[in-house]
Amino acid sequence: MSPSLSTDDAVSHINATPRLHLRRKRIIVAMTGATGTILGIKLLIALRRLNVETHLVISKWAEQTLKYETDYHASNLRALADHVHSINDMAAPIASGSFRVDGMIVVPCSMKTLAAISTGLCDDLISRAADVMLKERRRLVLVARETPLSEIHLRNMLDVTRTGAVIFPPVPAFYIRPSSVDDLVDQSVGRMLDLFDLDTEDFERWNGWKKE
């Protein structure tokens, strides 16, 4: 049996032992031209508050929808992210499976982007990064915004679900008795981040019927 280490030897042994590098959680946020840009804005704000490193990709039409639906400009949106990548930059770190991320959320996700992801088209950075999530078996959440849904939409949703993605329609939860649109948005954002084991603590969870 080996003799016990002295205190000095033990300290030297600990100092010589390689330490694991603990990085911040890292999530890709992609925004397309579908309605619901406020969901992407609130998501980025929540992730910043939770100290999650964000990599943002915004489509051309997402920028237009953002201006139409909110008082935000693209510059305001980019300021909420840690890193911003051009949708045309196919050499960005997030285009490679060797770049470690904890997942990706496309919010809102247009039916065009859904179709591109479903077929593995990879014609821009959003669909390429999503393709990487699927092939690397990482979490991919698609916040699909469309109604009503055609058979084509449903088939594409089924196909990406079978490959590991999560389809997340931002369906309002009226049991929280919302007093504003913000309440509904916060609940949806909170439920999205539940899928990454992140708790925003910004919405009321269901705890059963309340007794009068």
Give residue 210's pLDDT: 78
Q: Over pLDDT 90: what percentage of the chain?
A: 86
Give residue 179's pLDDT: 96
Give residue 1's pLDDT: 47
State the DSSP H helix or E strand holding residue 31, giving kind and residue range, or none if neither.
strand 26-31
Question: pLDDT tens digits for 155-212?
Answer: 999 999 999 999 999 999 999 999 999 999 999 999 999 999 999 999 999 999 877 6
In a domain, 3, yes or no: no
Domain range holding 130? 26-195
Question: pLDDT tens digits for 57-108?
Answer: 999 999 999 999 999 999 999 999 999 999 999 999 999 999 999 999 999 9
Please give the Cα distance from 46 to 103 (Å, whole number): 16
User: Of the ranges 3-12, 41-50, 138-147, which one carries the lowest mean pLDDT score?
Assistant: 3-12
In a domain, 175, yes or no: yes
In a domain, 188, yes or no: yes
Two structure tokens written together for 26 = 């890292």
Q: How many domains does the chain have?
A: 1
User: Does position 9 have pLDDT exceeding 70, yes or no?
Assistant: no
In a domain, 185, yes or no: yes
Give residue 5's pLDDT: 52
**Residues comprising the binding site for FMN?**
33-35, 59, 110-113, 145
Burial group, residue 110, by CB count within 10 angstroms (0-12, 13-18, 19+): buried
Question: pLDDT tens digits for 32-57?
Answer: 999 999 999 999 999 999 999 999 99
In a domain, 125, yes or no: yes
- Residue 56 maps to which CATH number? 3.40.50.1950
In a domain, 71, yes or no: yes
Look over the chain and give the mean of its residue pLDDT values, rounded to a whole number. 93
Count other C-beta atoms under 10 Å from residue 64's C-beta.
13
**Residues comprising the binding site for dimethylallyl phosphate?**
175, 191
- Write the CB contacts of 39 (distance below 8 Å, at least 6 apart in sequence): 107, 108, 143, 170, 185, 188, 189
**Residues comprising the binding site?**
33-35, 59, 110-113, 145, 175, 191
In a domain, 203, yes or no: no
